[in-house]
Amino acid sequence: MTSRRSLRTTVAAYIFLAPAILGLLFLTVLPIFGVAGISLTHWSGLEAPSWAGFDNFKTIFTSDMFFGPSVKATLFFAFGSVVFGTVYAFAVAMLLDQKVPARGLFRSIFFLPYIVPSIGTAVVWGWMYESNFGVFNYFLNLIGMDKVKWLGDDLTATPALVVMTIWGVGNFIVIFLAGLQGVPRTYLEAVEIDGGNAWHKFRHVTLPLMSPVIFFNVLMSVIANLQVFVPAYSITRGGPDNTTLYMVYLMFRESFQRNNFGLVAAYSLVFFTAVGALTALLFGFSKSWTFFEGE
Amino acid sequence: MKTHNRSNIAVTAAVIVLGFLSVFPFLWMLRSSLMSNLEIYQYPPLMLPKTPRFDNYVYALTAFPFGRYLLNTLTITIPSVFGVLLTSTMAAYAFARLDFPGRKPLFALVIASMLMPGAATIIPIFKGWTLLGLSNGYIPLIVPAFLGGGAFNIFLCRQFLMTIPRDLDEAAIIDGAGNIRVLFQVLLPLIKPVLISIGLFTFILYWNDVLGPLIYISRNEQNTISQALANFRAGYGTDYKSIMAACCMAVAPVVGLYLVGQRYFIEGIVLSGMKS
């Protein structure tokens, strides 16, 4: 620990950091101001923007036909994907943590969907959900149920896309599995000696020790799933009945396809603030249930 | 003991069932890509084609020139991976090894930017590139990789550097090495595992990106694989055998890469989750 502060070191440090600082400036800080600025204008992107004051925000919260349904759809999708995705990933990791043959192979099998191009996932699942010839409806028929218009029905469209998303949580499975393998066996054995059962072991050893990992995964999952885009863009186009009109898809559609840049900047700002608030809330809430050893 | 065995059998059975469900979409894609459309549109569905039709791929290639899209995708992906590795390592080195005024707030800013939803700033960034006259082409997709390589990668690399004892760089400094030599000759070989992981995940990220190419690439012959697959699906609505063949081609390279770099994928993921 002999590193001394010196002018030379400082200069070197800022040279090494120059690309990252430029990135922070041009890809994060300035764009946030840019979004705020553009949100106060009417701008088709073709001619010069004209001053709009808070018109865009007024529109969003009063007369916008798409904003409300989009918020609802996005929250519904993100909530389902985060909650069920986390539970599923944790459950699979718990299973793989037992004495299972060919664990490495299974780990690969569960991980692979995570790195499949999201368009590929959408195309394949779109085909499996197809209502006349799709394989899912065939399975339904096999157990004596009627066909369902998975992606064409406003009740099932988002849940169907949630299931598709859960298929791709292999990264969380791998993270959970690594975490579980770090849970000391002696703690689990101590519970056994005290006469505890599997539930006690889970509730009083595994869960508290895993809580920081769970928090990390939930946080990453919330941020990723609120920004869902590909399924809406490539399969449902926001339909049926705007039930899959997820925010990023709406932003893409209204800006690059319909040239309402001012309005979309306002969407972006509201979205950015909401995600920030939600993240802060998660952090605040986490203090009450995550457990760090040594605290 | 007996209940133990029984529970192990139940666990194994559950893993096998879930594992099958997890590979099923891959199998269904492959199966559909080898059928005729006549077979595809049968109900109840056939589980396997009567004779696998590999010429579906040949046919799909006429409308879906995979080679060109592959080249386009690599044109974006390879420089980006290089940029991410270079600039995130440089930043990580400064944060892990150098003491300078402003280090703490700057690092906090990097961490905070990790939580920012990237989708919120698409428009001003797009307008910026338009102002520079560069909004149509590969440049807006590649250049950001050279600007720090993403907060997450800086963080990951810094965490890894922190675990390496300083004795090595100090010995090199005494021998007269500067920061560039310390980083690129002494430390780089030692952090190879994390660099390979970052490289692989960056590759996948750029390979799979949809929104970026959609915004910045408008000419069909410049399309990336993901983008081309999306267009192909939209344009060939019911020709599912060809769509599935194209889809297999788009997915295969990623699966191949995983099989080659399995260890680094898993290690990278574990690292990202555990170092938090």
pLDDT digits (tens, 9 = 90+) for A172-181: 999 999 999 8
pLDDT digits (tens, 9 = 90+) for B133-168: 999 999 999 999 999 999 989 999 998 899 899 988
User: Sign (positive/negative) of CA torsion A72, A77, A80, A81?
Assistant: negative
Q: Which sequence spans correspond to the domains of chain A?
A: 69-289
CB B145 within 8 Å of CB B75: no
Quote the DSSP letter at residue A133. Answer: T
- Closest residue of chain B to A110, computed from CA coordinates: B22
CB A163 within 8 Å of CB A231: no
Encoded tokens for B252: 């295969």
The burial class, CB within 10 Å (0-12 / 13-18 / 19+), for A50 is: exposed
Name the pairing type of β-strands A50-51 and A41-42: antiparallel
Residue A16 and residue B117: Cα distance in Å, rounded?
A: 26
Nearest to B28 among A38, A135, A141 (CB): A135
CB B223 within 8 Å of CB B72: yes
pLDDT digits (tens, 9 = 90+) for B195-207: 998 999 899 999 9
Residue A188 and residue A293: Cα distance in Å, rounded?
A: 16
Q: Which of A42, A92, A96, A119 best tests the B interface by mutation, with the highest count of B CBs <10 A? A: A119
pLDDT digits (tens, 9 = 90+) for B43-72: 888 889 888 999 999 999 988 899 999 999
Average pLDDT, chain A: 91
pLDDT digits (tens, 9 = 90+) for A4-39: 568 989 999 999 999 999 999 999 999 999 999 999
Q: What was the ipTM of the complex prediction?
A: 0.90
Whether the pTM exceeds 0.90: the reply is yes
A51 interface with B at CB cutoff 8 Å: no
CB contact under 8 A, B15 and A112: no
CB contact under 8 A, A120 and B247: yes
Mean pLDDT computed over B241-248: 93
CB contact under 8 A, B243 and A275: no
- Closest residue of chain A to B208, computed from CA coordinates: A117
A262 interface with B at CB cutoff 8 Å: no
From the candidate CATH numbers 3.40.50.920, 1.10.3720.10, 3.30.40.10, 2.40.50.140, the one assigned to the domain spanning A69-289: 1.10.3720.10
